[in-house]
């Protein structure tokens, strides 16, 4: 079956307005297929379905919910190749990268299958009155999930799994660039035993009005969004009208600090992972690489060599490391960042030219001695460009690293653990990779500070985002 319609109440629907939109292959710029576009009437139907499914699902035992999530993990793990191929087709990332995402995405079902039975409360006695203080966690209600295009599988499962574990029904609005992976997940969830109406998927080109309508329905109690800070602010404004619980994973501008006592080879490999995972199209991507001047040339030479070894091409082709960016606008923005940096004095060590070929390709690029006023230092690059600056003082580089409105993730490479922990504590970021280029893990609370968001995804905290804490004062 071709899963390209809306998915509401366990059924595939054409959409109330009969409108469809095209999904492109970014490696060829050709149309993969067309997908139904949801409108307000479709949102109303999804809300009705979610409301009808809520009471039964919330009333099931944690173990029942856990077993269904566990089954979803088993089924997805058995079909990783299929999901990886679909991710590559609509997103562009290389097949190996897509396989990594599919594996990571499936893991959220396993993790939250285990957390579903651990919504622990407590009973204590009030010191003054002697009353019993009973605290428990209850499912909050219908959750609206808005997911981005850069991880079309993982950003969905990272929200769906904790919501279902908590006892909540969901309505998902996937990015219009990459709706196919989330739609393809629905038959798998059916097979796992997820009841009708519990998970609904509304791809749409009319995103703003559609999501606004959902957030203003009194039955909705949670909104979870991953995407840009600008869009996140708008959703927070809309969520305020109904005082919704917000979980926002927003933009980043990650600093990557390499100190003079670091293992340079390990730092280079860490930078490759932090920079080139998902072609740099990630809020966690290393955006500003600060290297101590004593090791700056060694690091830059080795990093440039590794970047130059990467093969550019269609992500489905064997041996390809770097696929296309997701669309023309993203590619053109990356190209503009590089041109701006070079015009302001940055040294181009590698890449920097848009290939003359179909597809939204941009080559691995290295910039050295990038000035602090370059646009790529002030904003997310979201592409395969390593922007390197140097430093010679610990206090100075920490100040520079913190000098941004964002606070999602930072990376630190140093040979002394005590120094590393001291630096981590001074960095104003929700997550830090210490001698690691990867921080994402289903078992860890993912999220940022400042303009990088509210709440956490993953870990035990991820499930609590979809629950309300209830306190009962009791005497017996």
Q: What DSSP line would sit under 4-34, residue for residue? A: -SEEETTEEE--TT--EEEEEETTTTEEEEE
CA atoms of 244 and 259, how far apart (whole Å): 43
Q: Three-state secondary structure along 196-208? A: CCCEEECCCCCHH
pLDDT tens-place string over residues 157-185: 999 999 999 999 999 999 999 999 999 99
Write down the catalytic residue from 107, 249, 380, 457.
Answer: 249
pLDDT of residue 67: 98
Nearest partner of 286 among 359, 384, 193, judged by Cα: 384
203 — pLDDT class (breaks 50, 70, 90): very high
pLDDT tens-place string over residues 106-121: 999 999 999 999 999 9
1 — pLDDT class (breaks 50, 70, 90): low
- 8-state DSSP, 277: G
Residue 248 and residue 449 in contact, taking contact as beta carbons nearer than 8 Å: no
pLDDT of 476 > 90? The answer is no
- Name residue, tokens 């035992």: 61
pLDDT tens-place string over residues 355-406: 999 999 999 999 999 999 999 999 999 999 999 999 999 999 999 999 999 9
- The reply to whether 283 belongs to the active site is yes
Residues ≥6 apart with Cβ < 8 Å to 286:
254, 255, 256, 271, 274, 275, 386, 411, 437
Write down the catalytic residue from 115, 177, 281, 283.
Answer: 283
pLDDT of residue 365: 98
Residue 384 and residue 280 in contact, taking contact as beta carbons nearer than 8 Å: yes
pLDDT tens-place string over residues 136-156: 999 999 999 999 999 999 999
303 — pLDDT class (breaks 50, 70, 90): very high
pLDDT of 311 > 80? The answer is yes
**SS3 assignment, position 269:** helix
Residue 170 and residue 145 in contact, taking contact as beta carbons nearer than 8 Å: yes
- Name residue, tokens 């979610």: 50
- 8-state DSSP, 191: H
2 — pLDDT class (breaks 50, 70, 90): confident
Mean pLDDT, rounded, for 15-44: 97
CA atoms of 40 and 46, how far apart (whole Å): 10
Residues ≥6 apart with Cβ < 8 Å to 267:
258, 299, 413
Residues ≥6 apart with Cβ < 8 Å to 435:
262, 263, 266, 270, 412, 413, 414, 420
Q: Name the phi and psi angles at 323, rounded to 5.
A: -90, -165
């Amino acid at each position: 079956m071709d899963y390209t319609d809306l998915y509401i109440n366990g059924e595939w629907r054409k959409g109330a307005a009969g409108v469809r939109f095209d999904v492109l292959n970014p490696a060829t710029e050709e149309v993969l297929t067309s997908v139904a576009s949801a409108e307000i009437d479709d949102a109303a139907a999804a809300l009705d379905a979610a409301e009808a499914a809520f009471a039964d699902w919330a009333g099931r035992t944690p173990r029942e919910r856990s077993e269904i999530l566990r089954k979803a993990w088993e089924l997805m793990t058995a079909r990783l190749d299929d999901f990886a191929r679909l991710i590559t087709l609509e997103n562009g990332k290389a097949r190996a990268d897509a396989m990594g995402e599919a594996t990571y995405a499936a893991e959220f079902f396993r993790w939250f299958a285990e957390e579903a039975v651990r919504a622990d409360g407590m009973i204590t006695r009030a010191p003054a009155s002697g009353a019993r203080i009973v605290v428990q966690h209850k499912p909050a209600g219908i959750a609206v999930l808005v997911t981005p295009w850069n991880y079309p599988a993982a950003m969905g499962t990272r929200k769906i799994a904790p919501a279902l574990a908590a006892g909540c029904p969901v309505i998902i609005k996937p990015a219009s660039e990459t709706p196919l992976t989330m739609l393809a997940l629905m038959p798998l969830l059916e097979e796992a035993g997820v009841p009708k109406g519990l998970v609904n998927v509304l791809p749409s080109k009319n995103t703003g009005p559609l999501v606004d309508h959902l957030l203003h329905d009194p039955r909705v109690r949670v909104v979870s969004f991953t995407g840009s800070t600008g869009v996140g602010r708008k959703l927070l404004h809309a969520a305020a009208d109904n005082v919704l619980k917000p979980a926002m994973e927003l933009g980043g501008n990650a600093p990557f600090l390499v100190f003079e006592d670091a293992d340079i080879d390990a730092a280079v490999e860490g930078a490759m992972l932090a920079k080139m995972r998902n072609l740099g199209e990630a809020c966690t991507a290393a955006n500003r690489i600060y290297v101590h001047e004593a090791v700056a040339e060694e690091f830059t030479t080795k990093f440039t060599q590794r970047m130059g070894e990467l093969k550019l091409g269609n992500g489905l082709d064997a041996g390809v490391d770097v696929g296309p960016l997701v669309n023309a606008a993203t590619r053109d923005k990356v190209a503009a960042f590089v041109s701006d940096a070079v015009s302001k004095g940055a040294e181009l060590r590698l890449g920097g030219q848009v290939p003359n070929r179909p597809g939204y390709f941009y080559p691995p690029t290295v910039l050295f001695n990038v000035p602090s006023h370059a646009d790529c230092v002030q904003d997310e690059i979201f592409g395969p460009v390593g922007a390197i600056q140097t430093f010679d003082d610990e206090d100075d580089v920490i100040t520079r690293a913190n000098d941004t409105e964002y606070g999602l993730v930072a990376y630190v490479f140093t040979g002394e653990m005590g120094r590393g922990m001291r630096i981590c504590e001074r960095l104003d970021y929700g997550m830090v990779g210490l001698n690691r280029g990867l921080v994402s893990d289903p078992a860890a609370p993912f999220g940022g500070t400042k303009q990088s968001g509210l709440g956490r995804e993953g870990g035990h905290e991820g499930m609590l985002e979809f629950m309300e804490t209830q306190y009962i004062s009791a005497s017996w």
